[in-house]
Every structure is written in C-alpha cells, then in structure tokens.
Structure 1
Amino acid sequence: MADLLVPKLNNNDTDYVLTEWLVKDGDPVLAGDPVVVLETSKAAEEVEADTAGTLRHIATVGSRCRPGQAIAQVGDGSAPSLPVPRVPGTDTQSGSGGPVVTRPAQARIDELGITAEQIASLGVPVVRLADVEALRPVPGASAADAAVPDAASDARSAQGTPLAGVQLGVARAVELSHRTIPAAYTVVRMDLGPALTRARELTRTVRRPVGLAELFVQHVAALHGDFPRFFAAVDGTTATLADAPHIGVTVDLGEGLYVPCIRDAADRTIGEIATQLMKYRLAATTGAFREADLTGANFVVTLHTDADVVLAVPFILPGTVCALAVTSPQDGAPANIGLAYDHRLINGRDAALFLRALKNSVEGLN
C-alpha cells in the first residue's frame, strides 16, 4: 500500500488546508487521477494519485497538512494502516455542524465583515476564498446592506485588522528576501512611446489587450540567451542556470500581491502572452489561481501603472535573482525602468549591460 504524500507547493506556507476529497474513501483511482484539493495562502491545488488502486483517506476535510505528510493510502482496498486524525479545532468553522472555512477564506471574511448568516447561505460544505469573494459587498449597495460590514469594520479598527492570507504570504516572501538576498538597484530612462504605439497596433491585430506588461515579458524573455545569469537561482555558493525564461508578472488589486508565471516566454507569441495574462488578471479578481500558476518564475516583471509613480524599487522574489520595475511614462517623458538584482551573482556593470540591451530592444519597436 502506497502513501499519498502532501507535495511542497510553495516556499511561503509551512502547511496547507485539505479542502475537498475528489474521490470518495474506498473508490478506485488510476495513477494521475486528481484525488484531493489542498489550499495554500494564495491558491487551491489538485493533487494526483501516484499509483493505481483503492483510495483510503487518512486526513479529513479541514485538516492542516504539512509537506511530506501522508493524507491517504492507495492499495488493495484494505483499511489504511495509519489512524485518521481529527480535524484541528484551529481551522475555523461556522459553528457546530457548519461548513469548514479555510484559513485564507476566514482571513477574507474577517477583512470584509462577512456574517455567519451570509456564509451559511452559500450552502457549501467547504468555504474557500473564491466563495467569500462572491459575497464581497457591491459598490453602491444600500445602507441597510452595508450596515453589518461597516459595524464590523469599526470593531476591527479598534482591535487591529488582521492581514488577509494573500498578504501574509507576501509578508513572508518580503521578509525572506530582505533577510537572505543582498540586493542592488540600477535605473535607466526609456522612451516608451514606440512601445505604446506598437502595443495599440498589436491589440487590434491579436484582439487581446496588449500593454507594457506583455511587451516587457516578451523583450525580457528574448534576452535569456545573452544574459543567462539573470534567470538563475542562487543556492549558497552555487548558481543554477535556467533552461528557459519563465517570467513572473505582478498582479496587485490592492488586496494582496500575486506573481503568476508565463512559462517558456521566449517561445510564446505576443498574442499567447496577452491571452495568458488576461486569464491571470481574471483569476486575481476571483481568487481562482492554481498553485502551479504562481510557481516557477525565474525573472519577475513588476508593474507600476499609477501616473504619479516615477520610481519603484521591487523586492527580489526568493528563488530568483532579478526583478524589473516598469513605471508609466510621464506626459511623453522617458520612464524610469529599474532592475533590482542579487549582488552575489550580478554586478553593476552586468546590470547596466542588461538594461542597455533591453532599452535598445524596447525603443527599437516600430
């Protein structure tokens, strides 16, 4: 009988919540079948069976599960050899006999002031982050509709507002970055006029929104062959080079930072990049990211679209060595495009050469 072990899904969370069994206890499965859903601070991820056989649950819905922990066994149909653990009481429920509420969902409930009655009205056994987002108060709602959230907000102001699950994940990543990565920063000025003109033309051609995000993903990825160390990872005194550029792009809706990844970006057309980013922006509004969407980046492009932002210094995502900050042009003036880089691997001259190559590529658009 083989154990089904919890995989390592990200570097920000030490444990995950088992939110749903996709296969009933005692039912047969094949290798590769999705059998269980685990939720992290940012996403829900389906875990597949490694072998074929009869699935026997060990962990229950609502359990906190650590990487490497056995949550089920797949074998000949006999009972599992490990005891079934109780659901920890620290995982919030809506009351006796009520639905299980995952930690990311509970953090969002607290933030929005969602009531127990609203949660019960969902009629689901497990309340996930996406379910709570559906209960978000609608702008312009009546005073009666907003009364309870406003009262809850006043109470939280007096007691302190807890960070949402997504923001907790950001906090852990920032703390790790600042503690472990000796970062440096270099800025160049770029004339983004040609790029914006080209973006408008491409939007009409590919019938997808094309902007600076899409163009910088494409142009950064094209530099992978000439600047492989900028897409590497540092482990102690060793740098591991990447076979292909996988570009992370920040998506920040004001309630937490997501960094979904465009894999094999150098092999994608601008239309494919635009389509993928459009899907990611939609996922950010609904909390529908998969963990696979948010992992694997070896270079990060951070976007700062507010016209008043003239300079931004991003943190370097753990596991990468570079983060490019893209700001908007100011009334036709050049924009400040900055590169934060891990000084253990990349020096100032290297950064300047990379930014010059990027500048020539972006400004050369016609």
Structure 2
Amino acid sequence: MRELLLPKYNTNDEGCVLAGWTVDDGAAVSADAVVAEVETAKAVEELVADTDGVLHRLVEAGAHCEFGRPVGLLFDSHRERDDYLANLDGTPGSGEGEHDGPVLSAAAQTLVQEHGIRAEQLRALGKRMVKAADVQRLIDQEPAAADVVTLSPRQRAVAAVVTEAHRTIPAAFAAISVDLTTFRATRADAAPYGLVELLVKAIAARHAEFPLFFATPGADHTLTLAPDANVGVTIDVGTGLFIPVLRDVARRPIGDLTDDLMDFRVSALRQNFREEAFAGETITLSLHNDPDIVLAMPIVHPGRTCVVTLCAERSEVALTADGVPFARPVTTVTVTYDHRYLNGRDAVRFLGAVKQDLESADAIARLAG
C-alpha cells in the first residue's frame, strides 16, 4: 500500500480543493494516470498516480486538502484493499473511549471536526461505520442560525496577499489624466487592438528608462532588475481574480497581446489556467475600466515595486484656445508604488511618459506597429 500524496503545486498556498475524482473508488489505475483534478488559488491542476494500484479515496470531492498530505491510497490488489477495509481502525466519534461510538472514515472525521458534530448525533445514526455521506446528512439537518459564507480557497489566497501587502508595503499613489482623442481616431480606422493592449505596450516601452518599476525587492534594501518587461494583467470575469502574464511585451506584435488577453478571459471563465500562465511577472496592470470608474488604488503585491491601473473611459469638457467648450474622451492612469524604492517624482515622470505615448499619433503607430 502506498499513499497518494497531494504535491505542492505553488508556493503561495498551503493547500487546495480536490475538485473531483476522475476514477471510481476501488478502480485499478496505472502509473501516471490522472486520478483527480485539484483547484489551487490560481489554476486547475491534475493529480496523477505515481504507481500502478487499486485506488482507495480518503477525501471526498470538494474537500480542502493540505499539500503533502495523502488524499488516497494505492493497493497492490483488490484483495489487499478489501482486507484493509475489513480491518479499518477509524477514530471513535467521541473522546470517551476507543470503542465508545461508531467508527468514522477519514473524510467523515474531517466533516465532524469542521462542523462540530456531537458524539450523540453520531451514535443516533445507529451505524457502526459512519461515512462522509452520513455526516453530511446530519449537517444538512442542522438548522442554520444565520447565513454564513465561507471564502473560497482562491479568495482566501487573495486575503492573505492583501493582508501581507498592507502589513509590509508603505504604498504611495499618483494619477494622471490621458486624452484619448488620438487613440479614438486610430480606432476609427478599425485598428485591431484596444486601449488595454496599447497601455501594456506603453508600459513595456519604459522598461529601460524606469528599470526600478520592473524590479523585484530583495534583502538588505536591494532590488533585482528584470531583463524583460513581462506585464501581469488582472482578469476578473466573475469567477475570481487572476493575474496571468503577458511575456516579452516590448518585442511582440500588439496583435499577439490581443489574442493572449482573449485566451486569458476564456481561461478565467473556464477556470482552467495552468501555473505557468502566472510565471515571470515584472510589473502589474490592474484593470478598473468598468463604466464610471474614475479612480482606483489597488495594492502593490509582495515581490513587486508598483502596480499601474487603467480606469474607465469617460467624456470631459475642455476649452479650445479661444475659450470654446468641447467634449473629449479621457481616462485616468494611476500608479501605486512602494515608497521604499520609488519616489513621487519618479512616479510622476513615469506616468507622464506613458501619457505621452498614449496621446501621440507617432508613438501609437510605433507601439502598434
């Protein structure tokens, strides 16, 4: 018998959700066969068997599991598994004695601990062997005193990052208004890209001039400079927040970025990102461009020195040189930055350079070319 261990899929999480088993309990599986799908805070991963065997599940689908812990057992034969089940030594339902109460399966014991099921409730079932489904029926029968929502593993991961960011990063903030008249004119020519892609290119174009905006903080007040501009873009289509990475932005055609962003949105809807989609980020673009959002100040993620934000497009009244009012399209671009490494003057210069690229016909043509 060998334990089927849950590998550590990433360094940010302590565990993940076993989204579903792909083979039946008691089925024979071969080495390298996919036996389950697990959901981390960022991606859906496949759990594979590391050897041939007969599968015995230890946890139910939907359970939260810690990395490095067994979620199943692999037996050499069906007979070995049957012998194991016949001699299963579970944990008693109460702490009053080893045999005072029914025997619980591992999954049932987990539910009992999570939901505070009492020993007398378990004994009232009248069963010697209590499984997770039996405990779940007890849970469903319990009257709810109030509606309580448990955060998803992904949202718990977000909570951990936000807490760490607010605890350790002294953030500052700057914002600039960008005139979109010239950009709108390029869109009138049916340009096959949007403002997000153009802003990504404009950010990457400033990598050499502002290297500390793309750097990674280290120990003893050091920064590791990035060789390339890899821009992480926030994607939230209602299934949770993801930050996949557009790599090597400066050297890639803008049409490739458009395709990648569309693929990111599809992956977010299907929740089937792979871990490599989030690797290599050197700067973050946070999209707050839903209608009427005029300003946003997101957190600076640990490991980054800043985050750039794009707000919604809107109309603004301006005056001609002769004092005649007219309406023009504008947006707000902001930067939240770690004040230990970047200063206000640097932030203003960086935003001014990005604004210049977004407002200049020549710069737009260069970035989109």
Choose the corresponding residue for 2:196, options 205, 213, 219.
Answer: 213
Match of 1:38 in 2: 38
CA contact (8 A) 1:45 1:292 kept: no
Query: C-alpha displacement at 1:163, in angstroms?
Result: 5.1
Match of 2:172 in 1: 184
The whole-number CA distance in structure 2 between the counterparts of 1:299 and 1:280 is 17
More moved, 234-243 vs 355-364: 234-243
Match of 1:6 in 2: 7
CA contact (8 A) 2:58 2:70 kept: no
Match of 2:292 in 1: 308
Please say if 1:223 is aligned against 2:206.
yes
Match of 1:107 in 2: none
Match of 1:285 in 2: 269
Q: 1:23-49: per-residue Cα shift (whole Å, max 9, x none)?
A: 89875446xx86653212453123578
Aligned residues: 299
Specify every segment of 5 or more residues in structure 1 that has no aligned partner in the other structure, as ranges: 102-115, 117-154
Match of 2:346 in 1: 350
Q: Give the 3-state SS of the residue equivalent to 1:341 in structure 2.
A: strand
The whole-number CA distance in structure 2 between the counterparts of 1:356 and 1:96 is 63
CA contact (8 A) 1:199 1:212 kept: no
Q: 1:160 to 1:70 in 2, by over 3 A?
A: closer
Q: 1:226 to 1:295 in 2, by over 3 A?
A: same
Q: 1:8 to 1:160 in 2, by over 3 A?
A: same
Choose the corresponding residue for 2:182, options 163, 170, 194.
Answer: 194
Q: 1:249 to 1:73 in 2, by over 3 A?
A: same
TM-score normalized by the length of structure 1: 0.65
The whole-number CA distance in structure 2 between the counterparts of 1:61 and 1:316 is 37
**RMSD between aligned alpha carbons?**
4.2
Query: C-alpha displacement at 1:71, in angstroms?
Result: 6.4
Match of 1:108 in 2: none
Q: Equivalent residues in 2 for 1:62-101 (5 A)? A: 62=60, 64-69=64-69, 86-87=106-107, 88-89=110-111
Q: 1:21 to 1:266 in 2, by over 3 A?
A: farther
CA contact (8 A) 1:183 1:316 kept: yes
The whole-number CA distance in structure 2 between the counterparts of 1:340 and 1:324 is 7
Specify every segment of 5 or more residues in structure 2 that has no aligned partner in the other structure, as ranges: 81-87, 91-104, 116-129, 316-327
Indicate the percent of aligned positions where both proteins have the same amino acid. Answer: 33
- Rg: which structure is higher? 2
Query: C-alpha displacement at 1:338, in angstroms?
Result: 0.8
The whole-number CA distance in structure 1 between the counterparts of 2:56 and 2:194 is 48
